[in-house]
């Protein structure tokens, strides 16, 4: 399974996203993101299967959960 | 023992709270919001769950709920964080020192001025008219305690919020004595900050409180430090809850607090209010005709009532009740403004604060003991 990471704007937002995605049947977990990727220090992301990325992003946007870029999808 | 000091802190807690306390430090032993390993994630999820429980009880956005050490901590953030320059601050004559002292600090250090608006025994129309009359062009902040900590007086917080919105005044609610004791739907109320203790009506552990910032203005920070994200930024995050949660949050305490909040939600704040009000009314009914017993502002809602007995000081009454196994609180209750308003500013009074866990038998036993003291 290819893994993608949705960068999140806050750690509470990351855990909120994980709860939301899991309730929708999407496997998700928290991950630290390297400073070199965020550009402004420690960051948090949500790991998901790349195959579920579009569905996951749509869910986050529907619930107005602020997120950053999708990392590792190749797009 | 009969515990009647619930306005200070609630006791006993529900069994579910003690159960959670027994295990929480092991279950949530990681540092929330820092690493992403299993223990840190479990701790972060405990914080999230506490915000969700508060959101469900108060009808507010979960992300607007920040964990604090207590209501005083939340009030200091709200008052000092919303009042960053000179100007007039309005507070009611029922406020606790957790409001009065931060405001007086701003008066000393920042050149602010203080206006005290009257609570008129809880008469909503008079309170609102009084506020309208006292607002000045430079009034920038108004604080209202939802429920007094010494008597059953309640302020019309929703209507006060409407005045503040119309006048462009920042608005802080001290819900220390109302949260968990009565319905509090924040979705209907316009406030910049609502400050709540975790260990009183919400049945959580001491060392917990909530700052709810669901309004238009986000206070400046009182504490700065690690937040787990954006470490290269010089400032704290611009959004709650991380903005107000500098340093390691006590995830175990948040888990226990969530358990208390869920107990309150399940029990129903309407039911809690009804029971506490009925027990206070029973107390007043049984003692109102007893010679030598004096009550202060005894009518209203909720479970708090203040009294004195002729020829005895408040401390003498409290000590004698304590010898009979009854816990009350005497003195000024950290609320000198309220005592001055009620005419007990010199020596204070005995406060009986009834909680959801009290019974009719507790109140009848208290009545017997007070009648004996009045008869001495």
Average pLDDT, chain B: 96
Residues 6+ apart with CB under 8 A from B222: B73, B76, B77, B80, B81, B244
Q: Quick check: B355 and B182 in contact, CB under 8 A?
A: no
Which residues of chain A have a CB within 8 Å of the CB of B41? 15, 29-30
Question: Can you tell me the distance from the alpha carbon of B115 to that of B39, in angstroms, rounded to the nearest whole number?
Answer: 49
Short-list B375, B373, B352, CA closest to B362: B352
> Residue A32's closest chain B neighbor by CA?
B36
B203-239, pLDDT tens digit by residue? 999 999 999 998 889 999 999 999 888 888 899 999 9
Residue range B96-116: average pLDDT? 98
Q: Quick check: B47 and B67 in contact, CB under 8 A?
A: yes
Quick one: DSSP state of residue B154?
Answer: B
- The closest CB to that of B239, out of A10, A40, A41, belongs to A10
Residue where the block lists tokens 């007893």:
B290
Which of B61, B230, B238, B251 is the best residue to mutate to test the A interface, defined by the most A CB atoms within 10 Å of its own CB? B230
pTM: 0.95
Burial class (CB in 10 A: 0-12, 13-18, 19+), A13: buried
Short-list B277, B269, B270, CA closest to B301: B277
B262-284, pLDDT tens digit by residue? 999 999 999 999 999 999 999 99
Which of B43, B228, B247, B258 is the best residue to mutate to test the A interface, defined by the most A CB atoms within 10 Å of its own CB? B228
Residues 6+ apart with CB under 8 A from B268: none
Nearest chain A Cα distance for residue B60, angstroms? 15
Which residues of chain B have a CB within 8 Å of the CB of A42? 228-231
Asked if A41's CB is within 8 angstroms of B232's CB, the reply is yes
- Phi, psi for B26 (deg, rounded to 5): -80, -45
- Phi, psi for A9 (deg, rounded to 5): -80, -20
- The closest CB to that of A15, out of B44, B227, B239, belongs to B44
Quick one: DSSP state of residue B69?
Answer: S
Asked if B230's CB is within 8 angstroms of A42's CB, the reply is yes
Is pLDDT above 60 for B73? yes
> Between A and B, how many residue pairs show a Cβ–Cβ distance under 8 A?
63
- Phi, psi for B212 (deg, rounded to 5): -110, 115
List, edge to edge, every strand of the sheet that includes A3-8.
Answer: A29-33, A43-49, A3-8, A67-71
Which residues of chain A have a CB within 8 Å of the CB of B43? none
Predicted ipTM > 0.95: no
Which residues of chain A have a CB within 8 Å of the CB of B44? 11-12, 15, 30
Residue where the block lists tokens 């304590």:
B322
Asked if A35's CB is within 8 angstroms of B36's CB, the reply is no
Kindly indicate the confidence band of residue A1, based on its pLDDT and cuts at 50, 70 and 90.
low
Short-list B120, B151, B121, CA closest to B284: B151
């Amino acid at each position: 399974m290819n893994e993608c990471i949705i960068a999140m704007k806050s750690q509470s937002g990351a855990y909120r996203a994980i709860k939301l995605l899991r309730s929708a049947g999407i496997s998700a977990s928290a991950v630290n993101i390297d400073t070199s990727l965020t550009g402004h220090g420690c960051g948090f992301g949500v790991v998901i299967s790349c195959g579920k990325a579009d569905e996951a992003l749509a869910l986050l946007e529907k619930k107005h959960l602020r997120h950053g870029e999708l990392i590792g999808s190749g797009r | 023992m009969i515990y009647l000091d619930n306005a200070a802190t609630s006791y006993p807690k529900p069994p579910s709270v003690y159960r959670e306390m027994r295990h929480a430090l092991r279950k949530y032993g990681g540092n929330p919001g820092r690493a992403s390993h299993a223990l840190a994630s479990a701790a972060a999820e405990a914080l999230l769950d506490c915000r969700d429980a508060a959101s469900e009880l108060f009808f507010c956005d979960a992300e607007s709920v920040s964990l604090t050490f207590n209501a005083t901590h939340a009030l200091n953030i709200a008052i000092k964080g919303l009042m960053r320059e000179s100007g007039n601050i309005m507070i009611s004559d029922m406020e606790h020192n957790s409001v009065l002292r931060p405001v007086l600090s701003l008066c000393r250090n920042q050149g602010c001025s203080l206006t005290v608006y009257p609570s008129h025994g809880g008469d909503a129309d008079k309170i609102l008219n009084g506020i309208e009359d006292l607002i000045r062009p430079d009034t920038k902040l108004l604080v209202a305690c939802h429920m007094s900590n010494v008597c059953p007086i309640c302020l019309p917080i929703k209507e006060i919020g409407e005045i503040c919105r119309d006048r462009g005044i920042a608005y802080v609610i001290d819900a220390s004595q109302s949260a968990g004791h009565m319905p509090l739907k924040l979705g209907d109320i316009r406030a910049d900050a609502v400050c709540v203790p975790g260990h009183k009506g919400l049945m959580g552990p001491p060392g917990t409180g909530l700052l709810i910032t669901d309004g238009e203005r986000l206070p400046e920070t009182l504490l700065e430090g690690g937040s787990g994200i954006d470490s290269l930024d010089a400032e704290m995050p611009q959004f709650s809850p991380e903005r107000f949660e500098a340093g390691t949050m006590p995830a175990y305490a948040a888990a226990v607090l969530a358990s208390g909040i869920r107990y309150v939600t399940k029990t129903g704040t309407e039911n809690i209010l009804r029971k506490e009000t009925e027990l206070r009314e029973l107390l007043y009914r049984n003692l109102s005709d007893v010679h030598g017993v004096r009550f202060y502002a005894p009518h209203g809602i909720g479970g708090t009532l203040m009294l004195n007995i002729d020829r005895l000081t408040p401390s003498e009454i409290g000590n004698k009740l304590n010898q009979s196994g009854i816990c009350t609180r005497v003195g000024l209750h950290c609320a000198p403004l309220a005592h001055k308003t009620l005419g007990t500013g010199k020596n204070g009074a005995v406060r009986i604060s009834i909680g959801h866990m009290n019974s009719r038998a507790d109140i009848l036993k208290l009545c017997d003991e007070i009648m004996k003291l009045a008869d001495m």
